[in-house]
Chain A
Amino acid sequence: MKTIFNLTFKSASRDPFLLLWSIILPIGGAIGLGFFIKSPDYPEHILTGMIAVSILFYSFMTTSFAILTQRRRGVYNLLRVTPMPLWKYVCSISGAWTLISFVCAMLVLLSGIFVLKINVSVQSFFALIPMIIIATVGYVFFSFFIASLSRTENNVSILTNIITMPLLFSSSAFYSLNNAPEFLQTINRFNPFQWFVSGLRNALDLSWVSYLADLGLVSLVAIVTLILALRTFRFTDV
């Protein structure tokens, strides 16, 4: 498991999409918008939003493509004739992807601490860790589900965009929805991505009750996506 974890981590960290979508774009967005929008609360608002975006882009979008590619190349089929149980392999690659996502999130967080001068307490930092890990694992499971529904890269591209864009734009990741129409606020309350964004904000603000509620909801999403991934997993396209 260790070798597969290490090699997956090494290979995935060379992915140019990772650099662009999960590191450069979120850090650039957080710093640019954090300086550009003159509101005392906004730097923290956009920083948490961009951490969530970084994680969503990598652990959901990038991994969906990786899983589809592995299946289409016959990797999962081959696993059936090796002594390595599928669950061990899936745990190894999912663990490596989760670690990469976590590192990306930390890089975005550090950019906020050093450039936007956001104060992150030790308690907040430790509260962020489970929130980031559980959400990431949930998105990785969801990417297995999306890859199972897809036969081609085009399918994955369409499905991930159809899912990601509404999640992003009906959340408060980039902007406040306080003055948004009622229907959008209602959608926002049931948006799983919003639970994650709120969880990150509540971790920074040390609002423990709200934080635990968000952590519970994010964990629920991870359980549901795990069930979807297990129920739909396909070894091969044939």
Chain B
Amino acid sequence: MNLIEAKEIRKQFHNREVVKGINLEIRQGEILALIGTNGAGKSTTLAMLLGILPPDAGTITRWSEDYKAHIGVQLQSTPFFEGYSTEENLRIFAALYNVRMDKEQIQAKLEECNLQEARKTLASRLSGGQQKRLAIAVTTLHNPDLIILDEPAAGLDPRARHEVRAMIERLAENNVTVLFSSHDMEEVSRIAGRIILMHEGLIVAQGEPEHLLQEYHAENLESLYLELTDSVEAGGK
């Protein structure tokens, strides 16, 4: 079953087309990675899938009318509420999803993201890695069917990246569908079951990583990405 299906979606800003008629679907239970360099159109694509931005053309079909109640989202900017502690941020995000959390549930969630010690710390004063872990924990407060993470490990040190990766893997173990965007090929190759490669607003390839590597005779995802994007640019010229 597809949770979301996008057909021929397009988006332009200031007369520049950033998403150029792409087709994709998110299948229930998979970990799907949307890969591309900065400016490839990943965040715009995610924003359209989430309903934040309307596509200029094309259609997006979602599995449920009240899909917002069943999606957990971590946007690139990790928008925590200024002036609120870690615990208060969990409570306020739970309220946004109409979830009431008692003290034990809050404690469990803090332990899950290893932030028990930072319970009373203002979220804005957490380290980059702690903020990302909190952001991912926030996406699971309402037991969503689908979690969408926009560059969850961007700008983190190796240890923090490892912790974030472990959190995503735990989500997958619980049969939650995860879509995440990234330009870190190592991260993608470790956790994604299927990948979509984007370049300059187009999807240049999609499929399971092993199949794509075999199909294009590439050693790893990075060389595959470089090969495919070079061929697109050469075609463009």
B82: chain A residues within 8 A (beta carbon): 66, 69-70, 73
- Which one of A10-18, A100-108, A189-197 contacts B? A10-18
A74 contacts B75, CB within 8 Å? yes
Q: Is B232 an interface residue when CB atoms closer than 8 A count as contact? A: no
CB under 8 Å from chain B, chain A span 1-43: 1, 3-4, 7, 10-12, 14-15
Specify the chain A residue showing the minimal Cβ separation from B124: A73
Contact of A83 among B75, B80, B88, B97 (CB under 8 A): B97
Task: Give the interface residue-count category, chain A.
Answer: 20 to 34
Q: Which of A10, A66, A75, A78 has the most C-beta atoms of chain B within 10 angstroms of its own C-beta?
A: A78
Give how many A-B residue pairs fall within 8 Å (CB-CB).
Answer: 71
A143 to chain B, nearest CB (A): 15
B207 within 8 A of A: no
Taking CB atoms and an 8 Å cut-off, the chain A residues in 62-119 that contact chain B are 66, 69-70, 73-75, 77-84, 89
A residues less than 8 Å from B69 (CB atoms): 83
Closest to B95 in A: A3
- Contact across chains for B75 and A78 when beta carbons are under 8 A apart: yes
CB of A15 within 8 A of CB of B75, answer no
CA distance A3 to B91 in the complex (A): 8
Q: B68 contacts which chain A residues (CB < 8 A)?
A: 81-83
Q: Which of A70, A81, A82, A83 contacts B81 (CB 8 A)?
A: A70
- Most A CB contacts (10 A, CB to CB) among B69, B71, B75, B92 go to B92
A78 touching B51 by the CB < 8 A rule? no
Q: Given A7, A70, A74, A81, which contacts B71 in the complex, CB threshold below 8 Å?
A: A81
How many B residues face the partner with a CB closer than 8 A?
26
Q: How far is the CA of A11 from the CA of B29 in the complex (A)?
A: 38
- Distance in angstroms from B195 CB to nearest chain A CB is 23
User: Judging by beta carbons under 8 Å apart, are B79 and A12 in contact?
Assistant: no
- Residues on the A chain within 8 Å of B94, using CB: 3
B51 to chain A: which residues have CB within 8 Å? Answer: 80-81
Q: Is B83 an interface residue (CB 8 A)?
A: yes
Q: Is the CB of A4 within 8 A of B95?
A: yes
In the assembled complex, B117 has its CB within 8 A of some CB on chain A: no
Given contacts A66-B82, A73-B77, contact A81 B88 (CB under 8 A): no
Chain B residues contacting A82 (CB-CB under 8 Å) are: 68, 73, 96-97
Per the bound structure, the CA–CA distance linking A21 and B66 in Å amounts to 43
Give Cα A84 to B68, complex, Å.
Answer: 9
B109 to chain A, nearest CB (A): 15
Q: Which of B78-110 contact A (CB under 8 A)?
A: 78-84, 88, 91-92, 94-98, 100
In the complex, the answer to whether B79 meets A81 with C-beta atoms within 8 Å is no
With a cutoff of 8 Å between Cβ atoms, the chain B residues found around residue A81 in the complex are 50-52, 68, 71, 73
Known: A7-B91, A74-B77. 12 other contacts (CB 8 A): A1-B95, A4-B92, A7-B95, A11-B83, A11-B88, A66-B82, A70-B81, A75-B79, A78-B73, A82-B97, A83-B66, A84-B96
- Between A and B, 13 residue pairs with Cβ closer than 8 Å are A4-B92, A7-B88, A12-B83, A14-B83, A70-B82, A74-B78, A75-B81, A78-B75, A81-B73, A84-B96, A84-B97, A84-B98, A89-B96
Q: Which 10 A-B pairs have the closest CB atoms?
A: A74-B79, A3-B95, A82-B96, A74-B77, A84-B96, A83-B69, A11-B83, A73-B79, A81-B73, A81-B50
Name B residues whose Cβ lies closer than 8 Å to a Cβ of A: 50-52, 66, 68-69, 71, 73, 75, 77-84, 88, 91-92, 94-98, 100
